[in-house]
């Protein structure tokens, strides 16, 4: 099975900072990569699918990039409401594994 890893496991940044989260697949997964945001105590929410397509309603400060095995989620200007854990997930073939998550905090 393809393994998903994320780095860093946590990041603390100031409001307005640029935050970058990396997701890596152990084998190529083409464009079948999604990102989810889970705020504390809340249900996960789809942010991005197909590597870089923003789900409707997601602020434009979020962006995704990458291909095959290496992917990035970027928050261009961190806001207090972005405090959450972010997960990548592959959906090329089963199992549709998630990365371990990256917790983003505001200093």
Partner 1 sequence: QLVESGGGLIQPGGSLRLSCAVSGFTVSSTYMSWVRQAPGKGMEWVSITYSGGATYYADSVKGRFTISRDSSKNTLYLQMNSLRAEDTAMYYCARAGDNVWDSWLDPWGQGVLVTVSS
Contacts with 21 (C-beta within 8 Å, 6 or more apart), sequence order:
6, 7, 8, 11, 72, 73, 74, 86, 102, 104
27-46 footprint of partner 1 as x/- string (CB under 8 A): -----x-x-x-x----xxxx
Give the whole-angstrom CA distance, residue 97 versus residue 16: 31
With contacts defined by CB under 8 A, name the span among 15-23, 59-67, 71-79, 81-89 that binds partner 1. 81-89
Give me the least distance between CB of 54 and partner 1, in Å please: 12
Question: Exactly one of 55, 63, 69, 76 binds partner 1 (CB under 8 A); which one?
Answer: 55
User: Are the C-beta atoms of residues 37 and 50 closer than 8 Å to each other?
Assistant: no
Q: Does 63 bind partner 1 (CB under 8 A)?
A: no
Measured over the CA atoms of residue 73, residue 103, residue 106 and residue 79, the dihedral's sign is positive
Instruction: List residues binding partner 1 (CB under 8 A).
Output: 1, 32, 34, 36, 38, 43-46, 49-50, 55, 85, 87, 89, 91, 94-101
């Amino acid at each position: 099975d393809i393994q998903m890893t994320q780095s860093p496991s946590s990041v603390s940044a100031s409001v307005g900072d640029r935050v970058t989260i990396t997701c890596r697949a152990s084998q190529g997964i083409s464009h079948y990569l999604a990102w989810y945001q889970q705020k504390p105590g809340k249900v996960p929410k789809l942010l991005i699918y197909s590597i870089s397509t923003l789900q409707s309603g997601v602020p434009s400060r979020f962006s995704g990039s990458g291909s095959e095995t290496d992917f990035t989620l970027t928050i261009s200007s961190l806001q207090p409401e972005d405090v959450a854990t972010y997960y990548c997930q592959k959906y090329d073939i089963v199992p549709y594994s998630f990365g371990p998550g990256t917790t983003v905090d505001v200093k």
